[in-house]
Amino acid sequence: MFNKNIKLFLAVATIALAVWQFIENEIGNGIMLILLAAIFVLLYFKNEIIVLAFLRLRKQDFPGAQKWLSKIKNPEAALVKKQQGYYYYLQGLMVSQDNMTLAEKHFKKAINLGLSMSADLAMAKLNLAGIAMTKNRKREAQTLLKEAEAHDKHNMLAGQLKEMKANMKRAGNQPKRQYGQPTSARAGRRQR
């Protein structure tokens, strides 16, 4: 895993070498070096580790995707801003089953850094709405759900959005339960 600046340096050096090859009338070598420089530029904008993690995620291989993501030690130094957004988006998806507080932090950071596809932004907001609903923050969940619905332009998440709305209605109809210690002194005396 190379730093993003190293990739740019390699691209510039390869282009300089290609120009030298063109000056020396080695046209074939120059073209090949230009193509090599294009690969370095492509890897600058599309990080290879994140692409491999997405491929693992597509196969529902969460441990494999987590293994690829763990290879990125310092996302700020290795990735451009949009890639950092996708890094935190993938991290949020990975930890959402185990640690909802950490997943919420990752999803919020991904949204702040920016996701280029509206479907990914809708999915992140849908996950945040689910986390907010489980933490009894109904207004925030409703707002996030509306935002997710607005970002889902191709109705890819229509089923999940409909199910989440139904769950919110069911949760709104249930009576509020109090867990833990009584909050008033009067309720505390009744228990003694």
Answer whether residue 35 shows pLDDT above 60.
yes
Query: pLDDT by residue (tens digit) across 12-22?
Result: 999 999 999 99
Q: Which residue has the higher pLDDT, 161 or 85?
A: 85
Q: Among positive and negative, which fits the CA dihedral 132, 133, 135, 136? A: positive
CA-angle at 92, arms to 82 and 90, nearest 5°: 50
Answer whether residue 179 shows pLDDT above 60.
no
Q: How many CB atoms lie within 10 A of CB 78?
A: 22
Query: pLDDT by residue (tens digit) across 137-147?
Result: 888 888 888 88
pLDDT computed for residue 152 by the predictor: 81
d(C-alpha 119, C-alpha 66), whole Å: 21
Amino acid at 74: N
Q: Among positive and negative, which fits the CA dihedral 122, 124, 126, 132? A: negative
Task: Return the structure tokens found at 26.
Answer: 């080695």
Query: pLDDT by residue (tens digit) across 54-96?
Result: 899 889 888 898 899 899 888 888 888 888 999 999 999 888 8
Amino acid at 133: M
Give, to the nearest 10 degrees, the angle between helix 118-134 and helix 81-95: 40
Query: pLDDT by residue (tens digit) across 102-154?
Result: 999 999 999 999 888 888 888 899 889 888 888 888 888 888 888 888 888 88
